[in-house]
Amino acid sequence: MPSLTRKIVKGRPYYYARWCQRVDGRPKIVKTAYLGPLDNIVQAVEGSRQPPAPQFATVASFGDVAALYDQAAQLGLVELIDAQVPKRGQGLSVGQYLVLAAINRAACPTSKARLGSWYRRTILPRLIPASPMQLSSQAFWNHMDRVSEADIDAIEKELSRRLIQRFKVNLRTLVYDGTNFFTYINTRNPARLPARGHNKQKRADLRQVNLGLLVSTDFHIPLLHRVYSGNLNDAPAFQTISAELAQRYRQLAEGCNHITVIFDKGNNSAEAFRWLDETALHFVGSLVPSQHPDLLGIPLERFRLLSGSRLEGVRVYRTRKKVFGRDRTVLVTFNEHLLEGQMQGISAGLEKARRKLHELQEGLLARRQGRVKVGRSPTVESVNKQVEEILSGQHLKRLIGWRVEEGPVPGLSYWTDTGALSRLVKTQLGKTLLFTDNDDWSDEEIVLGYRAQHHIESAFRDMKNPHFLGWSPMFHWTDSKIRVHAFYCVLGLLLVSLLQRRLHQEGLEMSLSRLMEGLASIKEVVLIYPQRPGQRQPRTVTCLSIMEEEPQRVYEILGLERYRST
């Protein structure tokens, strides 16, 4: 039976309930409960007292961070990196820094100056505890300077081994391609990797860095990457990749004894095929159509229609031809949907070019008639240069003819060559030239194999997404830092691809963007109540935000319940 006890604290009366029992024959207080001042007791008895409202709330990223951290833990990523790049047992390890950077890239790309701010808005402080000083950009790069190009290569080789042995990644077909990322690195900066070249994002005015990536068609899981100079074309870069593939073949063959590498025509070179031919690696590639007019001249009547819903409207002609020094199986494919898309693109390009040519023509006429007198007078050479710039798009110089008339002020005439357009439609448009050393593959297998390139295209597209998996922002000015930056970007892609693959195995199909958006919507909310007299610290209640159906299912499949705060 409890009893009521009154205590005076700083001149004010407070009440406690006490429970007394006999222990070893003597009375002893075994429990005390704080009841508060008399008014609180009266309000509680009368039922008029309302529960206190929370005073503050904090919101932290939970779903995306927990899922990525869990995937890194399953890979043993921190331990793998630390085994290659050990350090003294003070503060964060190199592996922890790289995993933090990879999670940041995958979930919410930020600069290293803002890494600590992002970190504090997530649940990572209880998963990888770190002080603000340890997450400064200087501390981060002090550790990353320990990671050499040889270290990255060794870590990637061990990662590939684990992916093959533990995760059973399908190696039957692998896809290689390259892309580039523009930078804002000053022209006078001595770094060698950033250089001007053909930029795929139309920023030829800026120095760029090229990235070559080999991924599985099993959810574009990266197995090998290389960073190379921005002024290097794809073919020389692929020579290096093919040489490394030849060296790694024995390791890859442990997971699959028939491996086919798929790449496009921009990577073709005799040296690359020499390396591939020295191994048991197979390939499916494409040829530059203009270099094989004999194949383009084959009439469509000799093509056969392929079967299968994924190959609707595709016709092929199969033959053999000597390519890069060896007889290869060659497929000339014709795709009605590709023809329609190309015709739409050509029509739009022609219309735009004719409009610009008309504007140039009218400007020259106005100057001839004396209606325009300001500015530098054009010359035949300058007009020709402007026309060539206008017709720089694909096929335009073949389809539009022009003549620059000499005079004090040059004149311009132009016309559309309908005959050239008819020949282009008849011989080249809608056609792709494929070749392979998989002589036993069916036509359908070869075409579908080559189409697997969409996996690498999807990976590059995701890496240029500003909201997750983004390469940018990249505020690094030395070659070593750029290589490390590329490495943790690829690690971020690896973690997300493995998550997508795991969900697929559980019957849930999701794009990377939808997956990351759904995970990002799962937040951890901490409600903080006013501190009451006698309490050492305010009472807190932790819960998760309301989840929609799909994120809820992802949460359950990945088992993220174990990362909730207790």
DSSP letter, residue 132: T
Q: Is the dihedral of CA 456, 461, 464, 465 positive or negative?
A: negative
**pLDDT at residue number 23:** 76
Closest CA to 256 of 231, 291, 282, 232: 282
Which one-letter DSSP state was computed for residue 195? B
Cα distance between residue 383 and residue 134, in whole Å: 60
Q: In the 3-class helix/strand/coil scheme, how is 258-287 assigned residue by residue?
A: CCEEECCHHHCCHHHHHHHHCCCCEEEEEE
pLDDT of residue 561: 94
Length of the chain: 566
CA atoms within 13 A on the CB side of 374: 0
Low-confidence ranges of the chain (pLDDT < 70): 1, 43-51, 473, 533-535
Please calculate the CA angle 102-106-110 and round it to the nearest 5 degrees: 80
Closest of 294, 211, 267 to residue 460, by C-alpha: 211
Q: What is the pLDDT of residue 201?
A: 73
Return the beta strands (E) in 376-461 as ranges: 400-405, 411-416, 431-436
pTM of the model: 0.82
392, 397, 400, 406: CA torsion to nearest 10: 90
- In this structure, how many other beta carbons lie within 10 angstroms of the beta carbon of residue 505? 10
Sign of CA dihedral 364, 370, 371, 372: positive
Identify the pLDDT of residue 134.
Answer: 93
Supply the pLDDT for residue 530. 84
Contact 244, 213 (CB under 8 A): no
Residue with tokens 């490495």: 487
- Give the pLDDT confidence of 346-399 residue by residue, as tens digits: 999 999 999 999 999 999 988 888 887 777 888 999 999 999 999 988 899 999
Question: Crossing angle, helix 94-107 and helix 63-75, to 10 degrees?
Answer: 140
Q: How far apart are alpha carbons 434 and 491 in whole angstroms?
A: 32
Token digits for 212? 């070559």
Residue 548, φ and ψ in degrees, nearest 5: -75, 175
DSSP state of 531: P
Token look-up 């790289």 returns 98
- 422-460 core/surface letters (b: 16 or more CB in 10 A; e: else): eebeeebbbbbbbbbbbeebebeebbbbbbbbebbebbb
**pLDDT value of residue 259:** 87
Of 29, 6, 8, 4, residue with least CA distance to 19: 29
Torsion angles phi and psi, residue 47, rounded to 5: 75, 15
In the chain, what are the domain boundaries?
2-46, 294-436
Cα distance between residue 406 and residue 334, in whole Å: 44
Q: How far is CA 498 from CA 12, 123, 234, in A?
A: 62, 21, 27
Element spanning 234, H or E: helix 234-253
Q: How far apart are CA 426 and CA 269, in angstroms?
A: 29
- Residues 63 and 124 sit within 8 Å (Cβ to Cβ): no
Judge if the upstream peptide bond of residue 473 is cis by omega within 30 degrees of 0.
yes
